[in-house]
Amino acid sequence: MPDRGPDYFFDTVSLCNFALAKSLDLLVSRYGLRARITQEVLDEVTDGVVAGHAGLRAIEDAVADARFSRAPSPTSPDERESYRQMLRILAPGEASCIACAKARGGIVVTDDKTARECCTERGVKFTGTIGILKACSQTGSLTPEAADAILQTMIAAGYYSPIQRISDLA
């Protein structure tokens, strides 16, 4: 399990994409305990479980089993101020990920356009579902066909993907 490099702060939607495709283990093997989940994201996941999306329980289980690390919520005055500012345009999960990643030198995992714009404005690196699948395919963690199959499962579960096949990416 990797333990070097920056922490990756996962927002709710990106986690849900992998959970609903039954591919959370891919994130565990790629990022290990560098995969961070804020309390705000975990609360959003719980809301999804309560709303009837039982497949999201796998995220709660991964946190409970310490396969993902819980990130402290934004606590310093600077983090709290940044978090409050972003709450005007983002959900708490996305805002907490960006505030924490900015303060701690991490990378945000999000597919949300507005969240990515906030990352760019604040100089925070980011990636998303497609970027992770592409990286896994390029490093050999997944065959291109397996990455395509996971993406198709995500799309069938409701993910709006800008592409249809990871194997088409250079």
Domains of the chain as residue ranges with CATH: 8-128 (3.40.50.1010)
Q: Please give the average per-residue pLDDT across 20-43, as a whole number.
A: 94
Res 170 pLDDT > 60: no
What is the pLDDT at residue 124? 97
Residue 82 has pLDDT above 80, yes or no: yes
- pLDDT of 2 > 60? The answer is no
Residue 46 has pLDDT above 60, yes or no: yes
- So what's the pLDDT on residue 1? 46
Instruction: From 156, 116, 151, select the one nearest 136 (Cα to Cα).
Output: 151
pLDDT at 75 over 90: no
The answer to whether 1 and 33 are in contact (CB under 8 A) is: yes
On the question of pLDDT at 3 being above 70, the answer is no
Could you tell me the end-to-end alpha-carbon distance of the chain, in angstroms, rounded to an integer? 27
pLDDT > 70: what percent of the chain? 97
Residue 85 CA to residue 149 CA, distance in Å, equals 38
